[in-house]
Amino acid sequence: MKRYIIIFSLLATLMATAGDVPRIYINPGHGGHDSNDRPTPFYHAILCDTITYYESDSNLLTGLSLEQYLRSNGYETAISRTGNTSDDDLDLYEIVALAANSGADLFYSIHSNATGVKTRLNYTLSLYRGYHGSPIVEGSDSIARATIKHLQANQATVWTHNPITAGDWDFFSNWGYKTGLGVLRYNKVPGMLCEGSFFDYVPERCRKLNADFCALEGWNQALAINEYFGNKGKNKTGIVAGIIRVNSERVDTAYCAFAADLLQPANSVVVQLCDKKKRPIRYYTTDRLNNGFYCFTGLEPGKYYVRLEQSDTMHAVTVRRNQSTYCNITTSPIP
């Protein structure tokens, strides 16, 4: 039933098409909370409980955010799923067929990465069909490069390595001659698969439990897509995001952490966004999921200040149209 609904909505989108507005087919990877969803149970030191991260959840939050931002930019979209049941977990070839039938100008598959070994990493990986620098569909390497540029500019995280963009036939050369990624195998339009960051790096996994952090990835993907299409988007706003940390060792020391992730994220603190006259206009309370993440979206360009409710210190930020501004704050331990 779900598939008929998807096909119907695609037909409706086709009929509604006018002019040469680019159409993007979004594929939030996996679905259904089953075994191919790489379920990852882990002990959460703040919740004092074992919880399970599913890649399909964060992929969907990112994909829905990307869809929303693209539409508000004036782009047309279609998406392979908006739910997270087994029925939403479409066969890879069906996804390719739906994308082709949608008349998409760009195919964009959203995933999160894992090393599969004990070595912990965090960086953005963009893959397209073909060999390095020789995509099978022209333009696929361009959107892959724009993606790593905008995603790895995210400072509300910690990166351990430089981003990578590659052709899947080279990247997975041990899979066999011209095997590569199934979801890109029969794709005929410029397309790519984005592994936004690594969920098996536990500080990143804690960030990916925050819906707004996932939405930020979707926003940054929208910036990349907008750049790929020559900045045709109509969006006039920007965002401010960051991480609030406490100047002490993080509590979940059992897990690997690097650089600023060695500090404890600030849980349940109130972050204020103030206007240029330093008057509070927006508030964000960080969650209890041990990430310290905050984000203010839909901001008119201009000068703002970020401050913690518990502090008088004002942190000046400048918001620009179609850009992400980051402001990380490290505070004294909260008494």
The footprint of Zn ion on this chain (CB under 5 A) covers a number of residues equal to 2
Q: What φ, ψ does residue 271 adopt, rounded to 5°?
A: -105, 130
The answer to whether 146 touches 225, Cβ cutoff 8 Å, is: yes
Site for Zn ion in 163-182 (CB under 5 A): none
Measured between alpha carbons, how far is 224 from 190 in angstroms, rounded to an integer? 14
- How many CB atoms are located within 10 Å of the residue 253 CB? 11
Contact region with Zn ion (CB under 5 A), list: 18-26, 106-114, 116-124, 165-173 = 106-114
- Per DSSP, 33 falls in state S
Q: Which helix (H) or strand (E) holds 239?
A: strand 238-249
Sequence-separated (6 or more) residues with CB below 8 Å from residue 173: none
CA 159/CA 303 separation, integer angstroms: 27
Segment interacting with Zn ion (CB under 5 A) among 23-31, 61-69, 141-149, 220-228: 23-31
| Nearer of residues 80 and 325 to Zn ion, judged by Cβ | 80
Which residue, 27 or 264, has its beta carbon nearer to Zn ion? 27
Residue 81 binds Zn ion, judged by CB under 5 A: no
Q: Min. distance of Cβ 334 from Zn ion in angstroms?
A: 37
Name the residue nearer to Zn ion (CB basis): 22 or 29: 29
Of the candidates 8, 215, 135, 262, the one whose C-alpha atom is nearest the C-alpha of residue 207 is: 215
Half-sphere exposure of 182 (CA within 13 A, CB side): 8
Q: Which is nearer to Zn ion, 197 or 226 (CB)?
A: 197
The 111-150 contact track toward Zn ion, x by CB under 5 A, reads: x---------------------------------------
**Closest chain position to Zn ion (CB):** 111
The residue from 29, 135, 180, 191 that contacts Zn ion (CB under 5 A) is 29
CB of 36 to Zn ion, least distance (A): 9
Q: CA–CA separation, 248 vs 244, rounded Å?
A: 12
Shortest CB 37 distance to Zn ion, Å: 8
Q: Hey, which residues does 304 pair with through a beta bridge?
A: 317
Piece in contact with Zn ion (CB under 5 A), picked from 24-32, 88-96, 147-155, 173-181: 24-32
* Footprint on this chain of Zn ion (rule: CB under 5 A): 29, 111
